A and B are shown apart, each in its own frame.
Chain A
Amino acid sequence: SLASPSSLQGSELHGWRPPVDCVRANELCAAESNCSSRYRTLRQCLAGRDRNTMLANKECQAALEVLQESPLYDCRCKRGMKKELQCLQIYWSIHLGLTEGEEFYEASPYEPVTSRLSDIFRLASIFSGTGADPVVSAKSNHCLDAAKACNLNDNCKKLRSSYISICNREISSTERCNRRKCHKALRQFFDRVPSEYTYRMLFCSCQDQACAERRRQTILPSCSYEDKEKPNCLDLRTLCRIDHLCRSRLADFHANCRASYRTLTSCPADNYQACLGSYAGMIGFDMTPNYVDSNPTGIVVSPWCNCRGSGNQEEECEKFLRDFTENPCLRNAIQAFGNGTDVNMSP
């Protein structure tokens, strides 16, 4: 009863129209008096402390209904675009009005990723010179190769040394580093360096512990990941959702990495690239994920949180955490990248 990947791909492409970005949609709305006044109204409705009561108000409801027909309703943002934060603010100002209360999964404000892993392999093999032949490179340390490749590229080397020195700088014996600055430098690295470099470092495959430890150290976890205490995952999610960027990256992760029992790879539309991209997109935020240990083959990733203190929401908390720790889509995507194998897509 499993649908074949090719038929899903077909249905996905059918009826899909390229969305307008929200900054542009906002300009279109501003040019129209009815839309712009309704948009202003809605923002006032959402700004109140008691949002739900405000939204129940007739005027707010009317504003929402009008805006659902406007270009603002369908608009999306691009990862790393100019004015990304502004775009996301516009996106959430409409969508927070539509999804009152907490949803477990939220729709991603980002455009769907259409490129495939195979594109990255083609480029990556140029750097390595080995043609990504798994037999030839079985003995070598892929994570070390990835670091070397990055150092041979000026841009990658510059942004990498920047985050390394910021995240390594000890402030005092009680303060390991400036976490905020470290996160910012990590975000710059993952936003501005092409994924051929960043994914190779983050998702390299390993045969021994030294390699896996290097892989775990990629984001300098003692500064960017670990903390004195492990918060509850649902509390961490609440914290993440206060920030538009973190919220968007988490929603994007859920949209692209959520395990599906309907596809062969367990990934939505069998798209590994989209999943890896949205995983990397969370690095440098409150929900920063990382490898939990330096086990070379048993890959487990998780944000820095656990489910202690969940009370009656333990199931929900564990479900949330399992999307990281026991997610077949994410695991398959990381392994496929490490092995240099993508799913063959029918045209």
Chain B
Amino acid sequence: EAPLGLYFSRDAYWERLYVDQPAGTPLLYVHALRDSPEEVPSFRLGQHLYSAYRTRLHENDWIRIHEDTGLLYLNQSLDHSSWEQLSIRNGGFPLLTIFLQVFLGSATQREGECHWPGCARVYFSFMNDSFPACGSLKPQDLCIPETGLSFRIRENRPPGTFYRFQLLPVQSLCPNISVAYRLLEGESLPFYCDPDSLEVSTLWALDRELQEKYVLEAECIVGSGDHEKKVAMSLPVTVYDEDDSAPTFPGGVDTASAVVEFKRKEGTVLATLHVFDADVVPASGELVRRYTSTLLSGDSWAQQNFRVEHSPNETLAQVNNNSVRATMHDYKLVLNRSLPISESRVLQLMVLVNDSDFQGPGTGVLFLHFNVSVLPVTLNLPSDYSFPVNRRAHRYAQIGKVCVENGQEFSGISIQYKLQPSSTNCSALGVVTSAEDTSGTLFVNDTEALQRPECTELQYTVVATDRQTRQQAQASLLVTVEGTFVAEEVDCPKSCAVNKRRPECEECGGLGSPTGRCEWRQGDGKGITRNFSTCTPNTRTCPDGHCDAVESRDSNICPQDCLRGSIVGGHEPGERRGIKAGYGTCYCFPDEKKCFCEPEDSQGPLCDELCRTVI
């Protein structure tokens, strides 16, 4: 940090150096701005000349600075041999640019640490030639430094001088060329150029929250009368921010209510409150450390079960037709662990937000309020279910779904379904729970029982149990067995998916088919598509891109959704398992863990993943 609060108006300065420029040639001015009115800058040069990549080249024997004015000048002419001496020390890099460090204040600082605001670098581009003849200089070369100008001014600081027009070496070596400067327009702008000294100053303290960028337009006039030439220049000024705005609630909203009911899973976002801060400091790197949020609650239950997540976002705020950057902080109240369904309470949570860099006046502290209601969930099943089932259904044929009320909305609640048969003779069904929608899928588990003539009506009680609290709900289930039994042909395969063509598909049944026959799905034939042709036990459940709880019981039911193995031919694999999209017809051999996707009639070459990506 700079001693006192002085700072440079730029972090880097640029000038050209030529061979044999005479001693005493002025080079450029550096400028320091003040943090408080009583400060007086004192400039000091670092001891060494560095190469562009910070290799120490030599002690600086050539350039000096006026401690008070910040004028850098040549103390000694730089001849060819000096340059060669510097080049040799520069390792493998061609010597094009060197730099010097300028410090503010007389306190000794380590040479190694040159960082704005207390230190600036002055770069010199080395031209391996003597200074050009004055007549050969273009207006551009007489007016503007070759590297663009840009300035940094801190907000809320006393006004001061931050630049001086004029290229000093040109002016001193070509005194006969008249060069004048003029700041254009900007009556209302807080900038001013003194016509005698050519110094550009601010008129009053700037406020970043009103405007953070200014581009000063200036004009450089070379020569006079008929030979007059004008060069336009622009001087961008960036206003630097400090933490001078306290956080506020947009629209005054400091309270949000949150209800925990069906979504009880760890990580559920319950409510969000926004905090606006007109500042952009602290920046993203250290924001989380400086902008803290603490969940205030003596209740250890609340501390364990809730947390606050903070995500800051840069936004733009409109001030007097200017866009200025600002920060919007989102504070989310999040469940820290899954809550049991029996939990029921109402509580108020307070969160302390602290903008710890804010200096005042006032305070940088805010309180967020969350009114949280945790409602209990009671399990309910509809009073009764009834489903038909075909007597010819194969094992794992899906016949219906059972679900507790609002089950689709559940998250973080684990329900298990069970069947209790009223008579043990005709117990043909099973049930599995699918975690995605908390429903239970009924399927045929015992085909022999189904085929018995006495089993025409199957009666069950469905019991849903919450794993965590053991809470239960019950419903009755009546399944009527319809149709007559027809024996399967002898050479039918176990799985529908092995069938490659429609006729052989529809001749047989396979594991999972509810009617005793496989079904053919005709694809759209549009290249590699999700709607590929295939043979399946039931087109409503397979393939649907999802290996459900019944299908995952046996790889023969729906390998199109459940296969973990290789797919040969044009295809797109599913997430982790199955075929997401395929080319032509896809058929599978579940025992060999293989599927093939190939065009319906042609014998074209198979395309693996690479060839698909290539052509």
Residues of A in contact with B (beta carbons under 8 Å apart): 1, 3, 8, 11-12, 15-17, 19, 52, 55-56, 74, 98-101, 103, 105-107, 112, 144, 147-148, 151, 157, 160-161, 164-165, 168, 170-173, 231-232, 234-235, 238, 261-262, 269, 308-315
From residue A28, how far is it (CB to closest CB) to chain B in Å? Answer: 18
The answer to whether A1 and B141 touch (CB under 8 A), given A309-B283, A309-B284, A310-B284, is yes
* Residue pair B614, A148 in contact (C-beta under 8 Å): yes
From residue A15, how far is it (CB to closest CB) to chain B in Å? Answer: 6
* Residue pair B241, A17 in contact (C-beta under 8 Å): no
* Residue pair A11, B609 in contact (C-beta under 8 Å): no
Can you name 18 A-B residue pairings with CB atoms under 8 Å?
A11-B128, A16-B92, A19-B92, A55-B112, A100-B112, A101-B112, A105-B53, A106-B53, A148-B615, A157-B610, A168-B609, A170-B573, A171-B575, A234-B285, A261-B146, A309-B327, A311-B283, A314-B325
Residues of B in contact with A (beta carbons under 8 Å apart): 52-55, 87-88, 91-94, 96, 110, 112-113, 115, 125, 127-128, 132, 141, 146, 150, 152, 238, 240-241, 280-285, 287, 312-314, 325, 327, 573, 575-576, 609-610, 613-615
The answer to whether A311 and B610 touch (CB under 8 A), given A11-B94, A15-B88, A101-B112, is no
The answer to whether A112 and B284 touch (CB under 8 A), given A172-B575, A314-B238, A315-B150, is no
C-alpha gap A157/B615 in the complex (Å): 13
A-B contact count (CB 8 A): 103
Residues of B within 8 A of A171 (CB): 575-576
Specify which of A55, A165, A262 is in contact with B609 (CB 8 Å cutoff). Answer: A165
Residues of A within 8 A of B112 (CB): 55, 100-101
The answer to whether A232 and B614 touch (CB under 8 A), given A165-B609, A172-B575, is no
C-alpha gap A262/B96 in the complex (Å): 10
Specify which of B127, B287, B325 is in contact with A1 (CB 8 Å cutoff). Answer: B127
* Residue pair B241, A172 in contact (C-beta under 8 Å): no
Residues of A within 8 A of B125 (CB): 262
Residues of A within 8 A of B241 (CB): 311-312
Closest to A217 in B: B613
* Residue pair B609, A147 in contact (C-beta under 8 Å): no
Specify which of B55, B91, B283 is in contact with A312 (CB 8 Å cutoff). Answer: B283
Residues of B within 8 A of A170 (CB): 573, 575-576
The answer to whether A232 and B113 touch (CB under 8 A), given A19-B92, A172-B575, is no
C-alpha gap A98/B55 in the complex (Å): 9
Residues of B within 8 A of A234 (CB): 285
* Residue pair A151, B284 in contact (C-beta under 8 Å): no
C-alpha gap A144/B280 in the complex (Å): 46
Closest to B147 in A: A261
Residues of B within 8 A of A101 (CB): 112-113, 115
| Given A8-B94, A164-B609: 20 more A-B contacts, CB < 8 Å | A1-B127, A1-B132, A12-B94, A15-B92, A19-B92, A74-B91, A99-B54, A147-B615, A161-B610, A168-B609, A171-B576, A232-B285, A238-B285, A261-B146, A262-B125, A308-B314, A309-B280, A309-B284, A309-B327, A312-B280
* Residue pair B613, A164 in contact (C-beta under 8 Å): yes
Closest to B137 in A: A1
Residues of A within 8 A of B55 (CB): 107
C-alpha gap A308/B287 in the complex (Å): 13
Residues of B within 8 A of A165 (CB): 609-610
Residues of B within 8 A of A105 (CB): 52-53
Residues of B within 8 A of A313 (CB): 283
C-alpha gap A103/B113 in the complex (Å): 10
Residues of A within 8 A of B141 (CB): 1
Residues of B within 8 A of A3 (CB): 128
Closest to A319 in B: B150
Can you list the 6 inter-chain pairs with the closest CB atoms, starting with the nearest?
A311-B283, A309-B284, A107-B53, A161-B610, A308-B314, A232-B284
* Residue pair B285, A112 in contact (C-beta under 8 Å): no
C-alpha gap A160/B238 in the complex (Å): 47
Residues of B within 8 A of A151 (CB): 610, 614
Residues of B within 8 A of A235 (CB): 284-285
Residues of B within 8 A of A160 (CB): 610
Specify which of B110, B150, B576, B613 lies most central, judged by the most chain A CB atoms within 10 Å of its CB: B613
Residues of B within 8 A of A173 (CB): 575
Specify which of B281, B287, B327, B575 lies most central, judged by the most chain A CB atoms within 10 Å of its CB: B575
Residues of A within 8 A of B88 (CB): 15
Residues of A within 8 A of B53 (CB): 105-107
Residues of A within 8 A of B92 (CB): 15-17, 19, 112
C-alpha gap A101/B285 in the complex (Å): 16
* Residue pair B284, A311 in contact (C-beta under 8 Å): yes
Closest to A158 in B: B610
The answer to whether A311 and B280 touch (CB under 8 A), given A100-B113, A173-B575, is yes
